[in-house]
Amino acid sequence: MSIDKELREELRHMADSMHCPPDLYGRVRRSYQHYVNEKRGRSPMKKRMLAGIVAAVILIPSAAFASPYLADAIFGSSAAIEQRGGTKEDYQVIEGMLQTAKGKLTEDEFKEYMKLTKQLMQLKLKITDQNGNKHMDKLTNEEQKQFEQLGSKLAPYFEKINGTAKP
């Protein structure tokens, strides 16, 4: 008898003597029922999950584009300039400028630009009264110096923003 045939016969013979224990049926059945319950329970859950994902997909981009109002990073909110004679429209103009800057500058440049602009705007807010009039004398000598420095530091950025804006 060839070994192939012998192996086949032997395994068949052995298999016939191996019986799945009957109590295993109960266990597999319980698992099955668990699966069925899970499946039934899952379908409304699935819908909710889907709705959640859809909502997140819609919200995330709008949050990414709308929420970090660039001007908010500098002023906190439009209230800061409205107290000093500015309007919501002015705020939008500033926002527009910042958005342009963001588009024209590299990421690192823009970071630096925002930092400097923020400092400059803080000083400007300080010298501007409720009617929008400027009083340089409100600043200390040191602050006046800083004000000028900021102006010159920002100049190359402005050139870059405006230069490429008008090719």
Task: Considering only the stretches 23-31, 41-49, 127-135, 137-145, report the one whose residues sit in contact with another protein under the rule CB under 8 A.
Answer: 23-31
Question: If binding is defined by CB under 8 A, does position 43 make contact with another protein?
Answer: no
CA distance 162 to 167: 9
Phi, psi of 134 (to 5 degrees): -100, 140
Instruction: Supply the minimum distance, in Å, between the C-beta of residue 1 and another protein.
Output: 6
Give the CA angle between residues 158, 162, 166 to the nearest 5°: 165
Site residues for another protein, window 3-22 (CB under 8 A)?
3-4, 6-8, 10-15, 17-21
Closest CA to 96 of 13, 9, 164, 161: 161
30 vs 48 by CB, closer to another protein: 30
Q: Which residues contact 29 (CB under 8 A, 6 or more apart)?
A: none
Question: If binding is defined by CB under 8 A, does position 45 make contact with another protein?
Answer: no
Positions in the binding site for another protein (CB under 8 A): 1-4, 6-8, 10-15, 17-21, 24-25, 27-29, 31-33, 35-36, 39-40
